[in-house]
Amino acid sequence: MIKNLIVTGVFYMDDITSRDEENVQKEEQIRKEEQNRQQDAQKTRDQATEKGRKQGLEEERAREKAREKQKGMGTGVKVILSLIVLAIIVVIAAYATLSVSVMDVTAGSAFPFTSNYGVTFPEGQTITIGTSHIIVLSFQNEIISDIDGDRQKLVVGEDRVISERHAVITTLGVIKLLDTNFKINLKYKGNRDNVAYFDMAVLTSQQVPDILLRQLLPAEINAQPI
């Protein structure tokens, strides 16, 4: 009986030992699984951190490129604005320094170019075209035209000629814009409200832009192209 008890006890101890080993193995397996889960979680966090860092670097590079592009555009706009301002200043300076010189010349030039205007001459007012001084006065259906002291009566349809002159227009003191001989034909068109109407033909030896030709014509005659 004692022998049986001893054998039973041995089996019992072996069973306890076996269960303990199983429990230890289960605990070790659980610990390893937990450790693996923690490692996987840490790896996931590390990957997410690295991804966020790379994304942050890419966004910063993108912002830097955008800033550089904007800076480059801003510089280009500043350069363009500076050029525009400079061009405006040059134009204003050129216009402000326009100088018109008109002198008498010996007649004989050819005049292949003609510009036509409708003009008005206020009566009794001295008008200067080039070096010529012109005064017109109406009398009944006639008009008395005085050009440099030479008086003539004109009826509607008659002409009066301002003899040949030489004109030079410069700007900025040294730049020559115009160098031409010219003469003017005036055809009397009638009088209304103390204003004498003429068709005016400006004949030039060189082709002259209207903007320069008008520098020879006083504002008082209100020249309109026709």
What are the pLDDT digits (tens) for 79-130?
888 889 888 887 887 777 778 888 888 878 899 999 999 999 998 899 998 8
Q: Which of 5-9, 35-39, 105-109 has the lowest mean pLDDT?
A: 5-9
210 and 153 co-located in one domain: yes
CA distance 226 to 223: 9
Q: What is the pLDDT of residue 182?
A: 95
Q: Per the domain annotation, does 76 fall within a domain?
A: no
What single-letter amino acid sits at 97? T
Structural domain containing residue 121: 99-225
d(CA 115, CA 211): 12
Same structural domain, 110 and 217: yes
In terms of domains, do 140 and 207 share one?
Answer: yes
What pLDDT, on the 0 to 100 scale, is given for residue 117? 97
Residue 93 falls inside a structural domain: no
118 and 209 together in one domain: yes
- Which residues, 6+ apart, have CB-to-CB distance to 176 below 8 Å? 168, 169, 170
Name the token pair of 75.
């510089």
Entry pTM: 0.60
Are 105 and 51 in a shared domain? no
Same domain? For 153 and 58 the reply is no
Measured CA to CA in angstroms, residue 85 lies from 37, 74, 76 at distances of 70, 16, 14
Q: Please state, for a pLDDT cut of 90, what percent of the chain lies above it.
A: 34
Q: Mark which of 19, 50, 70 sits at the end of a domain.
A: 70
Nearest Cα neighbor of 133 from 156, 162, 154, 153 is 162
Q: What is the pLDDT of residue 187?
A: 96
Domain match, 151 and 205 both = yes
Are the beta carbons of 201 and 223 closer than 8 angstroms? Answer: no
Across residues 194-207, what is the average pLDDT? 93
Q: Which of 207, 54, 60, 197 is nearest to 121 (CA)?
A: 197
| Amino acid identity at 28 | E
Residue 48 has pLDDT above 90, yes or no: no
Count of residues making up the chain: 226
Averaged pLDDT score across all residues of the chain: 84
Asked if residue 187 is part of any domain, the answer here is: yes
∠ CA 14-19-22, nearest 5°, is 125
- Average pLDDT for 49-77: 79
Q: How many domains does the chain have?
A: 2
In a domain, 6, yes or no: yes
Assess if residue 156 is contained within a domain: yes
| The pLDDT value given to residue 142 | 83
On whether both 33 and 137 belong to a single domain, the answer is no
Per-residue pLDDT of 166-193, as tens digits, reads 999 888 878 888 899 999 999 999 887 7
State whether 164 and 206 are in the same domain: yes
Looking at residue 29, its pLDDT comes to 81
For residue 107, which phi and psi values (nearest 5 degrees)? Answer: -65, 155
Q: Same structural domain for residues 113 and 186?
A: yes
Evaluate whether residue 82 is within a structural domain: no
Q: Cβ distance 182 to 167 under 8 Å?
A: yes
- DSSP for 110-149 reads ---EEEEEEEEEETT--EEETTEEEEEEEETTEEEEEETT
